[in-house]
Amino acid sequence: MSTPQHVRYETDGPLATITLDRPEARNAYSDEMCVQLVAALDRASADAAVRCVILTGAGKAFHAGGDVKAMKERSGMFAGEPAELRERYVRGIQAVPRRIAEFEKPLLAAINGPAIGAGLDLACMCDLRLAADDAKLGSTFVKVGLVPGDGGAFFLARTIGFPRALELMLTGRLVQGAEALALGLVHEIVPGDRLLARARELAAQIAALPKTAVQLTKRAAYRSWPGDQAAALELAATYQGIAQNLPEHRQALGD
């Protein structure tokens, strides 16, 4: 039996688009999706022509998180006793944040609809987030008696700060629009019919900048936070030494 394809990968010049493609389940995680998402990121990383990547969802949802049907059936990633479940998480869903942590190119989330539970966590793993004006976002694990097993407690707190993240996680409430923007959960709110176009505009703007400088800036930002000033300054000096001797720096100056 063929493996179901739950992720689509497309390129257009320097831009790649990764689409979570399980609309009948609101793009909820499956074991196949985890594997295929990591593979798509590997593909984008290996393609020298790709400068920036957009992550979005097929249909009306961005990502519904865990599959409630599988939860009820205790199947797939929800099957097994505690030790087995732990191992499933480590080898399965947690492979996604580990891969994104090493992904050197800018990664934009185009949140076209609900981003719930692990779906919100996935958006927070991305570098920038644009959301449709009607998209609802929430860390809803407590509502189904679970915890953010994909590391979401870390990613949400990194995105909006610990106190606000804790409130959203403990209440499981949903936010959207102006509140999501005010919290810093998203960078822009866009009419739904303009979302992908705007994401491509922003991605193209980043892709037009000197490639190595963009990637080193991203790496410096993540490796400097959280951390101490001395380590951040040392890292900045090292990366600047590299960037300042690259041809793209001279070209950017007009030399």
- Of the pLDDT bands very low, low, confident and very high (cuts 50, 70, 90), residue 239 is confident
pLDDT at 73: 76
| pLDDT one-digit tens code per residue, 41-63 | 999 999 999 999 999 999 999 99
- Please indicate, yes or no, whether residues 203 and 220 belong to a single structural domain of this protein: no
Q: Average pLDDT for residues 1-20, to the nearest whole number?
A: 95
- In a shared domain, residues 244 and 154: no
pLDDT of residue 155: 94
Separation CA 242–CA 217 (nearest Å):
12
- Report, in angstroms and rounded to the nearest whole number, the Rg of the chain calculated over CA atoms: 19
* CA–CA distance, 200 with 202 (Å, rounded to integer): 5
Range of the domain at 248: 211-253
CATH number at 148 reads 3.90.226.10
Residue 1 lies in a domain: no
d(CA 219, CA 213): 10
| DSSP-derived 3-state class of residue 96 | helix
Structure tokens at 233: 């300054």
In this structure, is residue 97 part of a structural domain? yes
pLDDT digits (tens, 9 = 90+) for 189-230: 999 999 999 999 999 999 999 999 999 999 999 998 887 778
Question: Tokens in use for 181?
Answer: 């923007």
The arithmetic mean of pLDDT across residues 6-17, rounded, is: 98
What percentage of the chain has pLDDT greater than the value 90?
70
Is residue 113 within 8 A of residue 172, CB to CB? The reply is no
Count up the domains in the chain and report the number: 2
Token pair, residue 225, equals 């936070």
Token pair recorded at residue 190: 């866009």
